[in-house]
Structure 1
Amino acid sequence: MSASETTTVSVGTRRINTVLSQHARSMGQLRRIEIYNDKFVKVADQDLFGRQSYHLNLGMLEPWPVRHRRIAWRWLLGIAYFALTTLLFGFYLWQNQTTQTLNQVLPFLITFILLTCGCLILFIYYSPNVTEFRSRYGSCPLLRLLYNKPDPESFRHFVAELKTRILAASQAITFDKKEMLAIELKELRRLSDEGIITQDEYRRARQRLMNMHF
């Protein structure tokens, strides 16, 4: 299949409707998103830290995505701190150009340069430009697409297809709202246990669901 393709292919018990493949070289990330059996999505993600995959029922997603640029402030502050320290060591070394000073300061200077580069890499990795599909009631981000990857046309086509499938899956639901809240809470707990969403994301979504329930 190409990067984004709308078709129907049978794989075991799955009928794959649409596929989007994304590659972010700066993050070393490969992502494959499959819409299958008309109402499910499978996400397979591989990056520098390993692999993970999970499945979602499209009926639990909000059909209107949100574009979101996440800023990893912790790593941004790390860049600023280590870069400033590097400059201070460099300035001190420039002011005291002796063999003794060079032997004492140079190892620290190299260490802080490496730490700055490391924080920069992690900042890029943890600050992706994404389009998020969130859970219907808890507003928890469950599906993140790298914005305009692999190309704008394929990305727009896949997002449009995904929205159409979500709406169709939602219209086929026969449960009432309280039942849907319970189902979503159960699914969010599963995704939290699998490490797909963070504990903080789960707690915030759970609080929203409990407020709606009562």
Structure 2
Amino acid sequence: MSALSLAATESEQIELAAVQNRHSLYNDLLQVPDLASRRHELVFEQKNRLLGRHRRIVLFNGRYLEWTEQRGRREETRIINLAFLAGSPSAYREIAWRSLSVALLALIVAGLLFAVGQTVAALAALGVSLLGLGICLRGSSRRLLFYTRNGRVVMFDLFDQRGDRKRFAKVVGALQLRGERAWALLPDRKERLAAEVAEHRRLMQEGAINQAQYERAKQRIFRRYSD
């Protein structure tokens, strides 16, 4: 029997046992497949032209998700192992505060202009206010935030689509189902703890999360398993 050790702190070691005559836990359940061995199972895209965002998720090999977001010329991609994704995403409403501020300021100006008898200018300001309010409503969005299971780090988010709610619900349901199945395959206690920490370390090394997020996630994971 051999053991793969993972340093939790400088003074603490967690041992992840590898049983003889079995494939290693890392190769079976944790290692991200290379491009040549990926089998795409689901592709889902979202576009928000007003915010200038294009999102694409690809589910592959049963347990992995590639999330890509484009903002203008900038593109961000990350790979997530669904086993370590929390079962239920959290709803979050993003408000276009800049447009709302313009609308409120224009409304105040319109009120002042009406008060001094500048009707034409007041109507123009009122029009700007209504336009700003409309842009605010279109630019605001309800999103679903997807966290890591016990580390509680936000991995990605999706716009909560009202126009295609049935398909959107199926996509979210597929992610949850695959995640729970992958989680159930992991060993218990120390091995599972080590796997969670290792996944967050991979995410940090690939630039998906920073050092501070990794350290906070690691402490949350240790607290979870010490209960």
TM-score range, shorter chain: 0.5 to 0.7
Return closer, same or farther for 1:150/1:183 CA change in 2, 3 Å cut-off: farther
Deviation at 1:15, TM superposition (A): 0.7
Provide the residue aligned with 2:220 in structure 1.
208
8 Å CA contact retained: 2:85, 2:147: yes
Higher helix share: 1
8 Å Cα contact 2:186/2:192 also seen in 1: no
Q: Does 1:183 align with 2:198?
A: yes
Choose which of 78, 100, 125 in structure 2 pairs with 1:54: 78
Instruction: Pick one of 147, 153, 157 that aligns with 1:144.
Output: 157
Q: For structure 2, list consecutive stretches of 5 or more residues without a partner in the other structure.
A: 1-34
TM-score (norm. length: structure 1): 0.64
| Number of residue pairs the alignment of both structures matches | 187
Deviations 1:170-190 (A, max 9, x none): 123246143134214314534
Alpha-carbon displacement from aligned partner over 1:15-54 (angstroms, at most 9, x marks no partner): 1011212223443332211101112111122234732221
| Partners of 1:27 and 1:48 within 8 A in 2 | no
Paired residues for 1:98-117 under 5 Å: 117=132
SS in 2 for 1:183: helix
**1:204 offset after TM fit, Å?**
5.2
What CA distance in whole angstroms lies between the structure 2 residues aligned with 1:167 and 1:38? Answer: 11
CA distance in 2, matches of 1:149, 1:190: 36
Q: Which runs of 5+ in 1 are unaligned?
A: 1-10, 103-108
Code of the aligned partner of 1:35? L
Alignment RMSD (CA, Å):
4.1
Cα separation, partners in 2 of 1:25 and 1:83, compared to 1, 3 Å: closer
Counterpart contact for 1:148–1:156, Cα < 8 Å:
no
Q: Secondary structure at the match of 2:149?
A: coil
Percent identity between the two aligned chains:
22
Deviations 1:50-89 (A, max 9, x none): 3222111112112x223403244xx54x556544443443
